[in-house]
Amino acid sequence: MIKNDLFLKALNGETVERPPVWMMRQAGRYLPEFRALRDKYDFFTRCRTPELAAEITVQPIRIVKPDAAILFSDILVIPQAMGIDVEMKENVGPWLPNPIRSAEDVNNVIVPEIHETLGYVMDAIKLTKEELNNEVPLIGFAGSPWTIFCYAVEGKGSKSFDTAKGFCFSQPEAAHKLLQKITDTTIAYLLEKVKAGCNAIQIFDSWGGMLSPVDYQEFSWPYINQIVEALAPHTKVIVFGKGCWFALHEMGKSKASALGVDWTCSPRNARYLSGGQVTLQGNFDPSRLLSPPATIRKMVHQMIDEFGKDRYIVNLGHGILPHIPVDHAKAFIDAVKSYNS
């Protein structure tokens, strides 16, 4: 039994004394302990070495003490497993030297055998579970098919992903074929993560907000929903779409246990748009962690009041920024723990 199961109770819609709290990218670059490992090992070495991934996952549990751990990994291990080269370049971020640009390129993309290509992730989960010793639940994750598609076609990060969108609009058949291959791989991958010990799964649709509401219903949501449908019988699934407030109504009708919200959508609107019955997660502006700790505490309590303490998981509206002082991250977590309705 997990000793602190607040996070799982919130996903189940149970009444809680206070909402649970964790932070997207909490296992990361704002922590000096993380930076020490980053300086010794390159990015994908950290992802592929179970001992390092487990250590990085557990660091924030020891230091800032959230109510859930999220496995240290990356959404781009999926395209790597599918035979698409992905590098992490200094000051550039993800870099794909051979982006997908044609139907022939799509045909060459494989749907891999998960244990052959991503077995190191399952090893990291098992080690992490040992390290956590049932203190808190462990979240596994993947990028949405659309978000992975964006990197695979664009070849790098972008402010608009025009090339990826253009591929969808000019070669829709090839685009849907690639999206389906990514979806099939992601489902197999996440089911293995659950078998290995993850207690819940989050799907990050980081670039969903790049699409119009109509195009979102064609190129993103149907593929996310396939993943939700496949995983729902086995685990709790959180869907987080950055900039996707317009899809909350559709998401709220799905089998997702929780929906993530970014800071551009008010708690009231998020409750209304999602139908009011699903657990919501979010949505503190990550930059607001630069406020004084007393202000953070006040704003967090106000945010909980607005969302309501039940069917709610406190989080940021996106990943924690690298220059946030650790004391401010602690203030965010502690503010939730001190909440009394």
29 belongs to the catalytic site: yes
Which residue of the set 67, 74, 205, 262 is catalytic?
74
Q: Catalytic pick from 38, 120, 215, 310?
A: 38
Judge whether 151 is annotated as a binding position. Answer: yes
27 is in an annotated binding site: yes
Long-range pairs of 107-110 with CB within 8 A, sequence gap ≥ 24: 108/83, 109/82, 109/83, 109/84, 109/152, 109/178, 109/181, 110/82, 110/83, 110/181
Q: Is 234 annotated as a binding residue?
A: no
Q: How far apart are CA 294 and CA 115, in angstroms?
A: 47
- Is 328 annotated to bind a ligand? Reply is no
Q: Among residues 29, 105, 120, 123, which one is catalytic?
A: 29
Is 26 marked within a binding site?
A: yes
Q: Is 288 a catalytic residue?
A: no
46 is catalytic: no
29 is annotated as contributing to ligand binding: yes
Would the annotation count 28 as a binding residue? Answer: yes
Q: Is 297 a catalytic residue?
A: no
- Active-site residue, selected from the candidate residues 30, 46, 48, 151: 151
Q: What residues have CB less than 8 Å from 59, skipping those under 6 apart?
A: 27, 31, 33, 34
**Calpha distance 309→16 (Å, rounded):** 7
Which of the following is catalytic: 25, 41, 285, 310? Answer: 25
Active site annotation includes 38: yes
288 annotated ligand binder: no
Tokens for 25? Answer: 């990218």
Binding-site annotation, residues: 25-29, 44, 74, 151, 206, 318
- Active-site amino acid positions: 25, 29, 38, 74, 151
Binding-site annotation, residues for substrate: 25-29, 44, 74, 151, 206, 318
